[in-house]
Structure 1
Amino acid sequence: MPTTQLYDTIGAGYPATRRTDPRIARPIWTALGDARTVVNVGAGTGSYEPADRAVVAVEPSALMRSNRPAGAAPCVGATAERLPFADGAFDAAMAVCTLHHWSDPEAGLRELRRVARRVVVFAFDTREADHFWLTRDYLPELHDLPGVRTLDRLTDLAADVLDAEVRPVPVPGDCADGLYEAYWRRPEAYLDARVRRAISVWGAVGPDVEQRAVERLRADLDSGAWHERNGHLLELDELDLGARLLVA
């Protein structure tokens, strides 16, 4: 399913569980440096947009644009690969959890570089995706999604295109932003359809895979099998699950 169509289908549920987590936002905003004007590409409903800077958002999905809250930055309907701005129009360009949805990530990264002197990208490097129990035990199909295969070479791509510094960002155990990886310490959350509807992975793998994964997880939670395999995680406050901040 094309990305815009996917988000026009699942985007209605985003405001309920997808919000800015301050512990993830802090390094993103710090990486913007002294930038006063910022373009947020693949902006969705506006999470992680800094309130103390002049922001212009770019989002291709009409439904996602309609779900942006009152007072959010102005939003343009466009794609990362064809940004409707002049060269050097912004001090900084940011992109948060969107790179894997771009049809041509390299072209999109070059566009970020074209329109801004500083580029900040937050994404997940999935080369070691099996470190996350949800992928390893319940959703191995994640490896076959085209966007995820793109992320497998994320740091290499960023190094080639942006000459970016790569910084790890741990995911808090009580992460406020309902990312795919957010509930690593709260497995019961993945049984909630409302939570899953705001995570693009579930829409991408399809209903049959989703149903099988959820039923297997529910059974393992009921039997105690999940806790036998992963109970040690409950003692951690944060975990490196591949979240990376690319700064150039």
Structure 2
Amino acid sequence: MSVYDSIGQSYSNSRIPDPRIVKQILNLLQLKPGSTIADIGAGTGGYSKSLANCGYQIYAIEPSLVMRSQSQPHAQVQWFTGCAEDIPLPTASVDAAISVLATHHFSNLEQAFREMHRITRKGAIVIFTIDPRFANKFWFADYFPSLWQDTFRFFPPLSNISELIGATTQRSVEVSTLMLPPNLSDLFVAALWRRPEMYLSSVVRAGMSAFALAEPSVVELGVRQLAEDLTSGQWQAKYGDIKNLTEFDAGYRFLRAKSDR
């Protein structure tokens, strides 16, 4: 059973595709409108729908019924029940493939990359992920230290991922950075770097697997301390300078695997 069968019930409430992420994905794919894209680990289909709205045919691959049930029908999005390690599409059946913040839920990265390469013709494979080792110091770790440490465990070093993709697919891999703006609509775990008060919302936290999979008592302790510090002004005194920033590097990266065949 997909982990999102248990934690994904309200996922679509806070994980709204951000147009800047969509734009960067399209810039990396470099496809003509009408091309076919496989979205691996598509979740509720937010990014699938956004790409379809730009004129692409999308095959959305997602194992969780709970996630798929929250998707909105779209004429150019076709859904498939399946996982990254066994993609239910024929060989060389799509022009490109993407995966947006999903690789940490893959059970076998090597097999997943092999499958993404198998189904893709000459187009790129674009993966949006995070390597916290590249992140600037983030106040989040002071309130939720075990959750931030789990990020290091769930997400291997980017160099390891790049090497694995290259060895598995014989593709060359390029890395690009997503500097987080302060007003992202897709509320993944570090998206609220300048909006600390939003971490107090249980609805917002429910859309972040880092919170949903954590020990509730640990989360409650961090939330309580954050609420107290926001009320007392302690957070502002210690971390308020971050609100002067217009962008923040929390370690989010795009990997673009190009085929030379």
Q: TM-score, normalization: structure 1?
A: 0.92
Residue of structure 2 in register with 1:227 after alignment: 236
Residue of structure 2 in register with 1:197 after alignment: 206
Please provide the CA RMSD for this pair.
1.7
Cα distance in 2 for residues equivalent to 1:112 and 1:17: 28
The 10-residue stretch of structure 1 (175-184 or 81-90) with the greater mean CA deviation from structure 2: 81-90
How far the C-alpha of 1:150 sits from its partner, in A, is 4.0
Cα distance in 1 for residues equivalent to 2:217 and 2:195: 23
Q: SS state of the match for residue 74, structure 1? A: strand
The gaps in structure 2 that reach 5 residues or longer are 167-171
Q: SS state of the match for residue 137, structure 1? A: helix
Residue of structure 2 in register with 1:239 after alignment: 248
Percent identity, please: 36
How far the C-alpha of 1:158 sits from its partner, in A, is 1.9
Distance 1:82 1:148, change over 3 A: farther
Cα distance in 2 for residues equivalent to 1:130 and 1:210: 22
Residue of structure 2 in register with 1:41 after alignment: 40
Residue of structure 2 in register with 1:138 after alignment: 143
Match of 1:170 among 175, 179, 204: 179
**2:36 matches 1:30:** no
How far the C-alpha of 1:172 sits from its partner, in A, is 1.1
Where in structure 1 do 4 or more consecutive aligned residues deviate above 4 Å? Answer: none
Residue of structure 1 in register with 2:98 after alignment: 94
Cα distance in 2 for residues equivalent to 1:225 and 1:19: 31
Match of 1:8 among 5, 10, 20: 5
Distance 1:150 1:16, change over 3 A: closer
Q: SS state of the match for residue 24, structure 2? A: helix
How far the C-alpha of 1:144 sits from its partner, in A, is 5.1
**2:18 matches 1:21:** yes
Residue of structure 1 in register with 2:88 after alignment: 84
Q: TM-score, normalization: structure 2?
A: 0.87
Cα distance in 2 for residues equivalent to 1:32 and 1:48: 14
Residue of structure 2 in register with 1:54 after alignment: 57
Equivalent residue runs for 1:180-195 within 5 Å: 180-195=189-204
How far the C-alpha of 1:87 sits from its partner, in A, is 2.0
How far the C-alpha of 1:160 sits from its partner, in A, is 3.2
Cα distance in 1 for residues equivalent to 2:194 and 2:94: 38
Distance 1:129 1:211, change over 3 A: farther
